[in-house]
Amino acid sequence: MKTRNRCILLAALVTVCCAATVPAQAAGERAYATVASVHMPAWVERNGMREPLAPGKVLQNRDRVLTGADARVLIALAEGSAVKLGENAQIDLNALGRRENRVFTAALDLAKGTVRFTTGIFSSLREKRAVNLRIATVTAAIRGTDLWGSADGERDLICLLDGRISVFHALAQAREMSEALSLYVAPKGAAPDTLGKVDGGQLAQWAAQTEIQPGSGYAQRGGEWNVELATLDTEIDALALYDRSRAAGYAVSILPRAATGGMYRYAVRIRQLPSKAEAEILSSQLSGVLALAAPRVTRH
């Protein structure tokens, strides 16, 4: 049993180390989408397997990203644009790549929740793009713009913040949208409404649903602070907490530390918090979510 536990622990450590090196290895042609920041819980599903999202995670074609309650995710696309997800969202990443003339391509399919697509956050380069964002029954063809959308049980909605998009729905003719704050709403099972307009107050409320807010306990690529959920005496206890945390959507890793008598203790921790304040907030949240006694904030 002890040998088996050590094998499982080694596999967990190797997975963590490999995940940490993927962004550097995939920084070339294939790093089409990378997690920049995440307010957990959040997961990625790939080939039938689910694992929690961590900053720096390189996403692949046909990945599905999911968020839990109060969660947020910021994804950087290779040509400099950003995808922001709100809580309880599900989005599929398809057609990631580049075609002739170096045009970046993506087909983003939001099944539920809220999303914002915006350009120019991660790069000032004006690369050509051919991106389709589908909000359940509504598809927006994007060339360079800023929009917010949501899908729920009652309607699918797109609000254009800036730029121009072509919008498609199976029960209506294609529409061009170019006026800032214009609104396209499709009730479930019905033809879309006529184009509407949203005011600044409503837009601010919607935008907050996809923004990672300071003071929320979020993790960010390159962050130097950690939250140690616990430091445990046995491998089996460390692995049990590791599995429980990751199933709940928290990207933990295990750090063995030498102890007296040639033994080891095992720190289970979440890395890449951008500040001590964010780490302390996450520590407080985890005390309740995972029923932990006293998560500890450290810096590396």
pLDDT at 139: 96
Q: Where is the domain boundary, 151, 175, 208?
A: 208
**Each residue's pLDDT tens digit, 85-119:** 999 999 999 999 988 888 899 999 999 999 999 98
pLDDT at 9: 54
pLDDT at 121: 66
pLDDT above 80 (res 6): no
Q: Where is the domain boundary, 187, 208, 229?
A: 208
Residues 8 and 56 in one domain: no
Task: Provide the mean pLDDT of the chain.
Answer: 89
Prediction pTM value: 0.89
**Each residue's pLDDT tens digit, 36-74:** 999 999 999 999 999 999 999 999 999 999 999 999 999
pLDDT band at residue 30 under the 50/70/90 scheme: low
Dist CA 37 CA 35 (whole Å): 6
pLDDT band at residue 28 under the 50/70/90 scheme: very low
b/e 29-60 (16+ beta carbons within 10 angstroms → b): eebbbbbbbbbbbbbbeeeeeebbbbbbbbbb
- CATH code where residue 58 lies: 2.60.120.1440
Q: Where is the domain boundary, 208, 229, 261?
A: 208
pLDDT at 122: 67
Mean pLDDT of 234-257: 96
- Structural domain including 186 reads 33-208
Phi, then psi, of 29 in degrees rounded to 5 = -65, -30
- CATH code where residue 292 lies: 3.30.70.1070
pLDDT at 126: 59
Dist CA 236 CA 13 (whole Å): 14
Q: Which amino acid is at 6?
A: R
Residues 63 and 162 in one domain: yes
pLDDT at 110: 98
Which two three-digit tokens encode residue 177?
Answer: 């949208």
pLDDT band at residue 197 under the 50/70/90 scheme: very high
Residues 58 and 127 in one domain: yes
b/e 65-91 (16+ beta carbons within 10 angstroms → b): bbbbeebbbbbbbbbbbbbbbbbebbb
How many structural domains does the chain have? Answer: 2
What crossing angle do the helices spanning 235-247 and 2-25 adopt, rounded to 10°?
50
Residues 194 and 104 in one domain: yes
CA dist 285 → 36, 210, 227, 248 (Å): 21, 20, 11, 13
Residues 23 and 64 in one domain: no
